[in-house]
Amino acid sequence: MKRIFPPYTYGPGPRAGCWWDDTIAAPDWPVYGGGTDVDVAIVGGGFTGLSAAYHLATTGASVAVLEAQSPGWGASGRNGGFCCLGGAKLSPASMKRTYGSSDTAVYQAAESAAIDLVAELLDRLDIDADIHSKGETELAHSPRAMAALRKEAEAMSLAGETPDLIEKADLDQAGFGGPFLGALTRPEGFGLNPRKYLFGLSNAAQTAGAEVYQQTEVQRIARRDGRFALETSFGQLTASKVVVATNGYSSEDLPKWLAGRYLPAQSTVLVTRPLTDDELAAQGWTSDQMAFDTRNLLHYFRLMPDRRFLFGMRGGLMSSPSAEHAARKRTRADFDKMFPAWRAVPSTHTWSGMVCLARNRVPFVGPVPEQPGVFAGLAFHGNGVAMGSYSGRLLADLAMEAIPDLPYPSQMRQPMARFPLGRARRVIMPALYGALKLGDL
């Protein structure tokens, strides 16, 4: 496997200390034993792969999911649990400029449908994922950002919606104590325990007939007699179709078309011990809304149902034990700065993982060019709880040659463009982060 980060990224180091591991035991997916032939083989056992598997299996297709590591190892088992709007890293205004108003409206409909899909799956599959929060609250970090939130609230009013805009003077009363200048709550989305959701989804996929394997890395996909032969660490699997769902853990050669077209980036999360009522009151943060700030390089945070506080932000640019240590320290320093009353509260858990960017800053879901029968879905720009699940459902439709009955935005069908600099493309990140940071001043 040709990958663009060092082996440390793909080992146990970054995910060591993940809080979700303490909340639910991993299911015992078998290791692949060889000799299987299926309609659809899925590479990657995160939200995208398992949602595709579940939706395919419910149509009666035979499906096998091949996951290189343990259950929940990828981003899906170690994220912040914000089931929220997003997936693209374009503002609505930039998306309209690039793709026009009507395609932007379809994308926005897909974002909402993605959240609805997760809510429906949790309900239909009876998955208890510790959900909380009525929509998501954005907190202004600067006067300019607050002016933009006010403008958005005005636009919401004109569109007949009832915006929930909070001015600075009322933030404490609403339980949002911190260095913020105001807030806007959008009604879509909720917080969840991602590992409980993921394992609920894998159980449902297996119950519907999907085979789900762990510790089974796909090393090569070859076309043979009109079918696909997937070489794994434990023998070959043959399939009529292949779905690649490897997101931030993708490689340059699986399939070869992906080379240079995705850019993994790190995100780091900490979780505190449960906060007491006095500690919550001292900081003035008592809301159970999931929230983020208006920075380009944003912070995301939420008080979870068990009163632990989760706080996340972008990770480092390098991946090594010392870079990981530095990213964790920076995350704690930002947390201390934003929530000073909790400086003495230990963060019992800290970890990191890889998100995935595309050059056009929109997720890709579609056929892999010039490889009929191979499909891929990736690049959720750090917002793949809802959009990855949704993409899995779209991929299931595409693999079955069915026309998706949910919005399938044209932007997401455009084949991914290459980043400049090929395998060295990570070197554009410092300049990118620098520019984004300047915009935050």
Ligand X SMILES: Cc1cc2nc3c(=O)[nH]c(=O)nc-3n(C[C@H](O)[C@H](O)[C@H](O)COP(=O)(O)OP(=O)(O)OC[C@H]3O[C@@H](n4cnc5c(N)ncnc54)[C@H](O)[C@@H]3O)c2cc1C
Tell me the residue type at 206.
Q
CB of 237 to ligand X, least distance (A): 11
Q: Which is nearer to ligand X, 19 or 47 (CB)?
A: 47
Q: What is the DSSP letter of 102?
A: H
CB of 278 to ligand X, least distance (A): 28
CB of 134 to ligand X, least distance (A): 17
Q: Which is nearer to ligand X, 24 or 269 (CB)?
A: 269
Q: Which is nearer to ligand X, 181 or 384 (CB)?
A: 384
| C-alpha to C-alpha distance for 286 and 346, rounded to whole angstroms | 18
Is residue 105 classed as helix, strand or coil in its secondary structure?
A: helix
| C-alpha to C-alpha distance for 57 and 210, rounded to whole angstroms | 6
| C-alpha to C-alpha distance for 418 and 259, rounded to whole angstroms | 8
Q: Which is nearer to ligand X, 352 or 411 (CB)?
A: 352
The structure tokens listed for 197 are 């959701």
Q: Which is nearer to ligand X, 47 or 339 (CB)?
A: 47
The structure tokens listed for 136 are 């998501």
CB of 438 to ligand X, least distance (A): 24
CB 354 within 8 A of CB 43: no
Q: Which is nearer to ligand X, 268 or 411 (CB)?
A: 268
Q: Which is nearer to ligand X, 61 or 242 (CB)?
A: 242
Residue recorded with tokens 């990118």? 432
The structure tokens listed for 330 are 């920076």
Give Dmax (Cα) for the chain. 69
Q: Which is nearer to ligand X, 177 or 353 (CB)?
A: 353
Which one, of 438, 374, 88, lies nearest residue 241 by Cα? Answer: 374
Helix (H) or strand (E) holding 165: strand 164-167
Which one, of 42, 89, 23, lies nearest residue 374 by Cα? Answer: 42
CB of 430 to ligand X, least distance (A): 20
CB of 191 to ligand X, least distance (A): 8
Dihedrals phi, psi of 395, to nearest 5 degrees: -65, -35
Tell me the residue type at 108.
Q
The percent helix, strand, coil of the chain (3-state, each to 5) is 35, 25, 40
| C-alpha to C-alpha distance for 433 and 420, rounded to whole angstroms | 16
Q: Which positions lie near ligand X, rule CB under 6 A?
A: 1, 43-49, 66-69, 73-76, 78-82, 84, 217-218, 245-249, 254, 267, 269, 312, 352-355, 378, 380, 382-386, 388
CB of 50 to ligand X, least distance (A): 7
CB of 145 to ligand X, least distance (A): 20
Residue recorded with tokens 């959008």? 186
Residues in the chain: 441
Q: Which is nearer to ligand X, 165 or 338 (CB)?
A: 338
List of residues 6+ apart from 349 with CB closer than 8 A: 17, 18, 19, 22, 270, 271
CB of 274 to ligand X, least distance (A): 20
Radius of gyration of the chain (CA): 21
